[in-house]
Structure 1
Amino acid sequence: MHSRTSPLDWNDLRMVLAVARAGSLNGAARALALQHSTVFRRIEEVEARAGAKLFERSRTGWRANAQGEAVAAAAAEMEAAALSAERAISGSDARVEGVIRLATSEMLAGYLLPPLLRQFLAEHPGIEIEADVSNRAVDLTRREADLALRATARPPESMVGRQVGALCYAVYAARSLLPRRSGTQPVLQELPWIGFDDRIAYTGIAQWFSKALPEVRPRMKADSLPAMMKAGAAGIGAVVLPIFAAAQEPGLVRITPPVVGQSMGLWLLHHPDVRGNARVRLLTQWLAEAVPNELLRLAEAGKITSCFAECPHAGRKARRAQPA
């Protein structure tokens, strides 16, 4: 067995691990940024050198057999050791120049962070920021990002975190959808609606929508809050949105108080191993002060006053979830 498997290198093992994790060639190809045909060819080559099949193929996907699971487990251990070494190197980097990879959501990237990052980069010209903007939760253990700014009710216990505020939600609509008589409140069930696509149905506010308005059939669904906000401003339907962002959209009118029980903590998170990285520490400290200040600025401008009155943590000084 040793003579057959000795030619296997990390790239071979990484390929097996990706297929085992994804359960399909397409999923592995996306994770590795490779072509489907390349993954297929490499797995065939690995199995030929190993002298054994590693996966059971079916129409529903690829499932690792006993041999495949053993190879994938060994690859996972190698990956963990390599990532630990990378985090140790990154965590001891004392330079205040270079790249910081910041993961955040579309709403935060578009409606909260730009003025803050502009000022930070102006004061630290040697630093570059790569923004990973998506709704997925990045894996900080695997170094998919150095720092994350996320709205979450339960930040991972394994991460070092600071709560820097809270986000509240309310119902918004274009003025054209509202009753013409001044002071008349619209009946929510009678409005056209923009709803949440199944891909973000797991979020707390999407679940609230399903329970609070079960009889509503949205005329449009989306998996992107910025897209939902623009659709709402265009008059397609009413929509539930984060107040800090929707208040900056002139085409929308808020028609409800903040949704009770649906505030989300706004957290800065990073892996404990990178706490010594000077760049990460610098940006973390900056955002820990700048985010609450920006939320307070919006409140003082009359943008989110009600949200601050009803959200318990919004605008307060940052607090830690884990020792930093």
Structure 2
Amino acid sequence: MPPALAWDDFRLVKAISDQRGLTQAAERLGINHSTAFRRLGQIEAALHTALFERHRTGYVATPAGEEMVRIAARMEEDVTGFARRLEGAAPTPAGELRVTTADSLLIDLLTPILARFCARCPEVRLDVVVSNQALNLAKRDADVALRATDDPPDTLVGRRLATIAWALYGRAGDGDGGALAERRWVSPAPGLGAAKAARYVLERTAPERVVLRLDTVVGLADAVAAGIGIGPLPCLIAERRPGLVRLSAPEPDLSAGLWLLTHPDLRRAARVRAFLDFVGEAILRERDLIEGRS
């Protein structure tokens, strides 16, 4: 008789492979290390084969282990898809809605809109994940994403709400008479997803004039407002800070699309549809500010 394997066995093997170790895999699954160790031994004994090679750098899947990981990934995708389809049939806006966005969009745009949405749909419980990295909506890392991008994933559906304009800003009254290239600059870190803005800075001043780099756009705006240096900022953020002045027209090369996205299986779910419609219309009313016309 072939060994009887449960879904949890496949989940454990995949977690160990993903995390390259038992301790991290156990934490991810919410079990203790000894339970994970014992269960892996039982699975390998039942299959009469090793699923992992133990190295000093971590656990490495054997061919048999790799096959279990592939099967587990397909099973996980099927289970997640089934859950999405069930949720898509929900009749009224209710339940938990997981939203992901960048810190700059949450603080300077989305938070007051979320307050109005919560008042409109009190049965929807929002779980907001602030991340400057794109989360995987297909794996339910989030249900809805508000993202600045020119290349949204083909696997998602949604609408482009506006074009996020960027311009050069400084603090009012700081060094107005000097050439821009000779002033102190602040710059976004290239890994932030603002590589275009980082290149913009280096094309306009010498590297030694860049006195600060940050991996958050909100922090970049705070640095300019504090007088550390001038720098490129989204008009959406800078125009809300009364101490900042625009030193250039919006720079077309720095612009990015503002997208509201979800997974196709979720777009008809009542809570997702209500959120997309409400937030989309609210953001459209802010379009002049977002696109630098305010």
Task: Work out whether the TM-score is over 0.5.
Answer: yes
The structure-2 alpha-carbon separation of the partners of 1:15 and 1:202, relative to structure 1 and needing over 3 Å to count, comes to farther
Q: Which amino acid aligns with 1:2?
A: P
What residue number does 2:292 align with? 304
- Counterpart of 2:139 in 1: which secondary structure? coil
In the other structure, the counterpart of 1:187 is 180
List aligned pairs for 1:57-206, cutoff 5 A. Answer: 57-58=54-55, 61-175=58-172, 177-179=174-176, 184=177, 186-188=179-181, 190-197=182-189, 199-200=191-192, 203-206=195-198
Conserved 8 A contact 1:196-1:223: yes
TM-score scaled by length of structure 2: 0.86
Q: How does 1:17-96 map to 2 (within 5 A)?
A: 17-23=14-20, 32=28, 38=32, 42=36, 45-51=39-45, 52-58=49-55, 61-96=58-93
User: Identity over the aligned pairs, expressed in percent?
Assistant: 33
Aligned with residue 291 of structure 1, among 271, 278, 283: 283
Amino acid aligned to 1:171: L
Q: Which amino acid aligns with 2:2?
A: H
Deviation at residue 214 of structure 1 after TM alignment: 6.1
Q: Which amino acid aligns with 1:187?
A: L
Deviations 1:65-118 (A, max 9, x none): 312211111110110111011111111111222222111111110011122222
Counterparts of 1:261 and 1:140, CA distance in 2: 28
Name stretches of at least 5 consecutive residues in structure 2 with no aligned partner: none
SS at match of 2:259: strand
CA 1:33–1:50: 2 relative to 1, 3 Å: closer
> Residue 180 of structure 2 aligns to which amino acid in structure 1?
V
Residue equivalent to 1:267: 259
Q: Quick one: which of 233, 237, 244 aligns to 2:236?
A: 244
Asked if structure 1 preserves the Cα contact closer than 8 Å seen for 2:88 and 2:268, the reply is yes
Q: Which runs of 5+ in 1 are unaligned?
A: 307-324
Counterparts in 2 of 1:272-283, with a 5 A limit? 272-283=264-275
TM-score normalized with structure 1 length = 0.78
CA distance in 2, matches of 1:90, 1:202: 35
> Can you list the C-alpha shifts for 1:265-300, whole angstroms capped at 9, x where unaligned?
11111111112201111111112221111223x47x
CA distance in 1, matches of 2:186, 2:38: 46
3-state DSSP class of the match of 1:20? helix
Could you say what the CA RMSD is over the residues aligned between the two structures, in angstroms?
2.9
Matched position secondary structure for 1:111: helix
Asked if the contact 2:201/2:231 (under 8 Å) is kept, the reply is no
Deviations 1:185-212 (A, max 9, x none): 6323x22232333542674333444455
- 2:2 aligned partner: 2
Is the contact between residue 166 and residue 292 of structure 2 (CA under 8 Å) also seen in structure 1?
A: no
State the aligned residue count. 291
Q: Give the match's secondary structure for 1:266.
A: strand
Q: Aligned partners of 1:219 and 1:89: how far apart in 2?
A: 52
8 Å Cα contact 1:87/1:273 also seen in 2: yes
- SS of residue matched to 1:112: helix
